[in-house]
């Protein structure tokens, strides 16, 4: 709460100043930044889905082009997006529990616990995702 | 009185943000499996999407998903703007604009889904 009040006075540029502010501030700033990225992607996703109205050939061509992209660069973006979503989700669960009065005195431990669980799940998700692109393990 | 109402509203907004966030964990898990893994390709193709949306349960699932995730995103952005140092008047105006964007999005999403369901599945 103190961190949030201080942030109001300093403006949103203070988000980038992580030094000497502790893990709580890092979690707070990164949660918001990842939220903006996900919201941008959500509307991008709706735009792609809107192409369903253009018919089978057109939609499938778009799906093929956005899956891999030039030099497989979109796959890298997909993995970064998955990282952003899993981070935001894990920290979001902690914040939701806080909202219901759970874990208020163990925020740091909960942050690390949920993030470790999320990163393990991300690893599993990436493993299955890589099977599609022919990178078998 | 005004401050009290704003505080209550703020708490309610944060409460809904938490509730929708927890729902999204479930929705997103099902969505990632159903639309991005179960088809053997990272993104479902035209026929797969059409066939899935013809099932009334999936139709309802995706529609509710759009309503909830868009609310969470827009409300999250509103909470973020509320925490900045801009004037209360500007915050209120931006808040109204964001909720208009929310309603336009869900109306568009609903119309799009209904139109997509009516497309005949190519053989």
Range of the domain at A10: 2-132
Taking residues A89-104, what's their average pLDDT? 91
Q: Where are the domains of chain B?
A: 8-117
A21 found inside a domain:
yes
Coil vs helix vs strand at B65? helix
Q: B56, exposed or middle or buried, with CB in 10 Å at 0-12, 13-18, 19+? A: exposed
What local confidence, expressed as pLDDT, does residue A13 receive? 66
Q: Tell me whether residues A52 and B116 touch, CB distance under 8 A.
A: yes
Q: For position A67, which CATH number holds? A: 1.20.1300
Within 8 A by CB and 6+ apart from A39, the residues are B73, B74, B76, B77
What local confidence, expressed as pLDDT, does residue A8 receive? 55
* Candidates A11, A95, A128; nearest CB to B18: A95
Report the sign of the C-alpha dihedral through residues B69, B71, B74, B75, in that order.
negative
Express each pLDDT in B82-95 by its tens digit. 888 888 999 999 99
pLDDT in tens, chain B (123 residues): 455 555 555 588 888 999 999 999 999 888 877 776 666 666 677 888 888 889 999 999 999 999 999 999 999 999 989 888 888 999 999 999 999 999 999 999 999 999 999 998 887
For A106, other C-beta atoms within 10 Å of its C-beta total 12
Q: Tell me whether residues A125 and B41 touch, CB distance under 8 A.
A: no
User: What's the rounded Cα separation, in Å, for the pair A130 and A79?
Assistant: 10
User: What's the rounded Cα separation, in Å, for the pair B6 and B14?
Assistant: 12
A53 found inside a domain:
yes
Q: Which two tokens stand for residue A113?
A: 């616990």
A111 found inside a domain:
yes
Chain A with chain B: Cβ pairs closer than 8 A: 87
| A63 and chain B in contact, CB less than 8 A | yes
A91 found inside a domain:
yes
A137 found inside a domain:
no
Query: What's the pTM value of the predicted model, to 2 decimals?
Result: 0.84
Q: Which two tokens stand for residue A89?
A: 């989700």
In chain A, whose CA is at the least distance from the CA of B41? A132
Taking residues A25-46, what's their average pLDDT? 93
Q: Which CATH class is domain B8-117?
A: mainly alpha
A18 found inside a domain:
yes
Question: How many domains are there within chain A?
Answer: 1
Q: What is the ipTM of this complex?
A: 0.85
């Amino acid at each position: 709460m103190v961190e949030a009040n201080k942030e109001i006075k300093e403006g949103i540029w203070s988000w980038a100043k992580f030094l000497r502010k502790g893990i709580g501030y890092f979690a707070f700033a990164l949660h918001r930044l990842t939220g903006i990225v996900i919201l941008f992607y959500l509307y991008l996703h709706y735009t792609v889905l809107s192409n369903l109205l253009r018919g089978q050939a057109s939609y499938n061509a778009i799906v093929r082009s956005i899956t891999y992209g030039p030099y497989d660069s979109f796959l890298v973006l997909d993995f970064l997006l998955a990282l952003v979503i899993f981070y935001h989700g894990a920290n979001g669960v902690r914040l939701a529990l806080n909202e219901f009065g759970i874990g208020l005195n163990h925020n740091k431990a909960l942050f690390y616990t949920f993030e470790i669980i999320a990163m393990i799940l991300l690893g599993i998700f990436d493993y299955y995702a890589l099977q599609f692109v022919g990178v078998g393990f | 009185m005004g401050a009290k109402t704003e505080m209550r509203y703020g708490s309610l907004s944060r409460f809904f943000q938490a509730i929708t966030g927890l729902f999204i964990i479930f929705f997103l898990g099902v969505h990632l499996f159903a639309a991005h893994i179960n088809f053997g390709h990272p993104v479902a193709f035209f026929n797969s999407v059409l066939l899935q949306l013809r099932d009334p349960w999936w139709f309802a699932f995706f529609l509710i998903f759009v309503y909830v995730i868009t609310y969470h995103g827009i409300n999250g952005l509103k909470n973020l703007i509320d925490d900045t140092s801009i004037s209360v008047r500007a915050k209120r105006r931006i808040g109204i604009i964001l909720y208009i964007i929310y309603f336009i999005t869900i109306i568009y999403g609903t119309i799009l889904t209904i139109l997509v369901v009516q497309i005949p599945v190519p053989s």
